[in-house]
Structure 1
Amino acid sequence: MKLLLVSANRERSPYPVFPLGLAFLAAPLKQAGHQLAVLDLCFEADPLAALQATVVAEQPEAVIISLRNLDNVTWPDARSYLSGLTDLVTVCKGRATVIVGGSGFSLMPLEILAACGADIGLVGEGEQQLPLLLDRLAQGIDPADLPGVVLPGKIDFIPPQTVSRIGSPDRELFDVARYLKEGGMANLQTKRGCPFGCSYCTYPLLEGQQMRTRPVAEIIAEIRSLVNDHGVDYLYFVDDIFNYPVSFCEQLCTAMIDAGLQVNWSAFINPDFITPQLLDLMQRAGCDAIEFGTDSGSPGMLTSLCKSFTLGQVRSASLLCREAGLDFAHYIIFGGPGETEETILDTFQLMDELNPTAVIAMTGVRIYPRTRLYRTALDEGIITVETDLLQPTFYLAPAIRDRLSTIVTEQAMQRKNWIVPGLEVNISDTMLEALRMFKVRGPLWKLLKRMGRSRIAPMK
């Protein structure tokens, strides 16, 4: 079949994100004999006109639209992407079979399919199921019994299956250079699945709780191709946790060192699985910055958010980074169950003690179905079963709901290494566009140590 793969993501804050999910789909679709065209809407000034022109030019039999996120997950400046998806579907309807998938779609597939009007939805990983679905469509066979397939008017579907062996993405049809230029890095995935249980997190729902790693040799080959064929000199590993399992992390870093790959990189790290030896190995493999999903500096809030580590481990990991001269950032989420002004101040005090290169803080916790936070929000009457979670809906602890933004803004403004996207402390779309004028490699938060006092941009 002639297929058009469409990346619906247009969010460029803080970085334009390469459509890795579609790249993973491209290889098995080619192997199945399909003809592929790609439209990446991230850099299109008029996405609907671009889609219409591409559909007319390519005449695809099926259009596969990938929805990366439902919204920007930022309170109070929340932006939903659902209406944009609906507009894309409308352009294609009647001209081709419209299939919607992606991680954003998989969060609430029945609701999103009904809202956007697509012909078919596909939940979960598509490398195995999408070729099977397209084969059914070509033969005129009902695909309803395929795992992960969602059809209009249905109230249920067979749960998706996770792929047993993760392949390598095919980036041939995508503009890797544009993402490197404007995003400062190329993204790469080494594993899927998350065995941990943070109360708000959707990773285990999307990828399963069983962690599946890619063959190290294939990862090295992918990095070599990015460096040699695309001029990539900086990587970001998109794994939920890069350093777990520790043995796999060690194998990969050792292989990167042995391969002599001239590339720097950063990743998300769990402080519970870091040692001086592992950190040294990571640095010798090219790591120059790491990020921690710490969430809070309060022991009670770590328990409330179901984090797998302790404040002691956060302190130890941060100290290792400072001693190694490694830039590091802590990501914080304010407003979860049990949050008070006291626990907020505990977090600021811990970050003062640790003195990371940057602290990136979000206010409010996005509520998604099937998470522990969803059940908590129901029990507390924050939401009801009728609440439309397709629209950005956030948990804000009752004790500080009305004062959360004020407290966080006042405290963050006193510290030059804090970034609060929702409140525009030390970050704004204008600032990000200006930074992209320079040849910046790696996370933009690394630049904070070269900037002056904290600043706040006016809210839009």
Structure 2
Amino acid sequence: MKKVFLFNPPFGLYRRDNRCQNRVEDQTVNVIFPPMELLYCAAILEKEGRRVWVRDYPASHSRLNDLLADMKQIQPDFAIFTTTVATLESDLSVARYIKENQPHTIVAAKGEPLHRLDDDVIRNTPNLDIILRGEVESYISDFVSGKCWSELPGVTFRQDENVVRTAVSDEFLDLDSLPFPARHLIHNELYRSPETRNPLTTIITSLGCPHKCIYCSVPALTGVNVRFRNPESVVDELEECVHRFQIREFLFHADTFTLKKTWVIDLCQRILQRNLDIRWGCNSRVDTIDEERLQWMKKAGCWVVGFGVESGNNDHLERMKKRATAEQARDAIQLCRKNGVRSHTFFVFGFPWDTSQSIRELIQFAHELDPDFFDFNIAFPIPGTELDDLVTKQNLASRDRLKNGGYATGAVSTESLAAEELERWRRKALWSMYLRPHYIFRTLRNAGSPHIAMNYVRAAMNRVRNLLFSARKREFNSWDHTISN
């Protein structure tokens, strides 16, 4: 019986699934999510009788020695890990350690950067046998079964002295055909709500996005045609989480959860019919939310909605190909406030056209919106995106900084601002929002219980420490609490 070992390498606490591969501690909400892609692969393989192990070493604060000890004990036929842009170099070193100790094991890597960098990586990583691209769940079974690699869709490997790169399949996964993720293979207590400290998990409800924002990898990864799960299947999975795993807090993961109004309302009605008593959050575009949707979502347990607002400048939004407006962002936040659902907004700057003045205006717009939670991200050129092509053409990217990339670290310059200046502007933006007395009072008031309020205080202290330690000492001497300079 084939033995398969799926894992996240012990190098940095990042969100490794899909498009949001940011460092956990760089975000306002420090939450760790389970490795859903690995859990889906595990469920598929278990269903076919394979022996499977799943480890999330960053989440358990484990080290390389723990990984090697597990490898020695399991003696797997296949070792498959997920990587990110920021951790790529460290993650790939795992292949060497595995081969030194388990030379018979086939070592495979998957992850967002490998969709574009696969050729270079496979040529320069001799201990890595194969790269898995595309929707790995669609062919993981054939891969483990021993099917000829050249017949698999979306893989990259060496053959003699050549690199073979097969095309990704034009057919995307039918989400309803997948078994539920193999949550029994992980320690679910590692994943908790930062507010309540209750167990939390992710439910994938749809994949794909019809929009083509220049900084986003979704069109290349999951396509522009949105695939929704049957709402009944989603609720069945929720019920399994509640009764089998005692999990009642969820993030509904979708490239845009609220895209299809009838689907959202149908799902909410089914949640209510099952009396699940759950608490959940989701994401939305600012132009795919309305009062009826929000009212049903609130009734079904939704407490927070995340919005990719990005900018308050309509010309900048058009350049990003966002296909949304600042006015729609204002309406969305007001609707959430009216209906008792909290909002989490994401802003982004650091595009080639950004200046000190445009960033200052963005911060002022964030103050105007006054969301419940917020993040300011620095634009990062994910390999394969239009932004990546743009900054490469304009010679704005720093190779050294790209290796340490993330949404809090300036990996590129703009036409008028250095990467270091973008990092300073990000800190100014966050400080200016956090230190508003009415914001602090409202956040504690809305906590709803002393327990949650204390968790907010602890989170704030961690956030302050993170921001202080990331700033240079000379910046503190001249830092101004205002954004007028």
Shorter-chain TM-score tier? 0.7 to 0.9
Structure-2 separation of matches of 1:70 and 1:444:
30
Alignment match of 2:80 (pick from 58, 64, 70)? 64
- Is 1:396 aligned to 2:413, yes or no? yes
The one-letter code of the counterpart of 1:382 is L
Number of the residue aligned with 2:239: 224
How far does residue 177 in structure 1 lie from its aligned partner after superposition?
A: 2.0
Indicate if the aligned counterparts of 1:357 and 1:417 stay in contact, CA closer than 8 A.
Answer: no
- Aligned runs of 1:47-86 on 2, under 5 Å? 47-67=63-83, 69-71=84-86, 81-86=87-92
Structure-2 separation of matches of 1:131 and 1:311:
46
Number of the residue aligned with 1:377: 391
Structure-2 separation of matches of 1:58 and 1:454:
39
- Aligned runs of 1:230-379 on 2, under 5 Å? 230-363=245-378, 365-379=379-393
Change (3 A) 1:396 1:389: closer
Structure-2 separation of matches of 1:41 and 1:64:
13
Number of equivalent positions: 424
Number of the residue aligned with 2:51: 35
Using the aligned pairs only, state the percent identity: 21
How far does residue 391 in structure 1 lie from its aligned partner after superposition?
A: 5.8
Indicate if the aligned counterparts of 2:317 and 2:325 stay in contact, CA closer than 8 A.
Answer: yes
How far does residue 17 in structure 1 lie from its aligned partner after superposition?
A: 2.2
Change (3 A) 1:131 1:97: same
How far does residue 352 in structure 1 lie from its aligned partner after superposition?
A: 1.8
SS class of match (2:433):
coil
Indicate if the aligned counterparts of 2:31 and 2:193 stay in contact, CA closer than 8 A.
Answer: no
Change (3 A) 1:46 1:325: closer
- Tell me the alpha carbon deviations over residues 158-194 of structure 1, each in whole angstroms, 9 at most, x when there is no partner: 2245223442312111111221377752111101111
How far does residue 51 in structure 1 lie from its aligned partner after superposition?
A: 1.8
Number of the residue aligned with 2:481: none
Alignment match of 1:124 (pick from 112, 131, 134)? 134
Indicate if the aligned counterparts of 1:357 and 1:446 stay in contact, CA closer than 8 A.
Answer: no
SS class of match (1:169):
coil
Indicate if the aligned counterparts of 1:181 and 1:439 stay in contact, CA closer than 8 A.
Answer: no
Number of the residue aligned with 2:95: 89
Indicate if the aligned counterparts of 1:186 and 1:232 stay in contact, CA closer than 8 A.
Answer: yes
Alignment match of 1:176 (pick from 165, 168, 188)? 188
Number of the residue aligned with 1:101: 110
Number of the residue aligned with 1:415: 433
Change (3 A) 1:456 1:301: same
Where does the alignment leave 5 or more consecutive residues of structure 1 unmatched? 72-80, 419-425, 427-437
Structure-1 separation of matches of 2:229 and 2:107:
31
The one-letter code of the counterpart of 1:369 is P
Structure-2 separation of matches of 1:439 and 1:135:
50
SS class of match (1:273):
coil
The one-letter code of the counterpart of 1:345 is R
Query: What is the Cα-based RMSD across aligned positions, in Å?
Result: 3.1
How far does residue 320 in structure 1 lie from its aligned partner after superposition?
A: 0.6
Structure-2 separation of matches of 1:201 and 1:305:
10
Structure-1 separation of matches of 2:380 and 2:33:
20
Structure-1 separation of matches of 2:208 and 2:301:
25
Change (3 A) 1:257 1:49: same
Structure-2 separation of matches of 1:356 and 1:39:
36
- Is 1:459 aligned to 2:474, yes or no? no
Q: TM-score, normalised by structure 2?
A: 0.79
Indicate if the aligned counterparts of 1:107 and 1:368 stay in contact, CA closer than 8 A.
Answer: no
- Tell me the alpha carbon deviations over residues 31-73 of structure 1, each in whole angstroms, 9 at most, x when there is no partner: 2221112222124554321122112211211112222x222xx
Change (3 A) 1:19 1:411: closer
The one-letter code of the counterpart of 1:126 is V
SS class of match (2:414):
coil
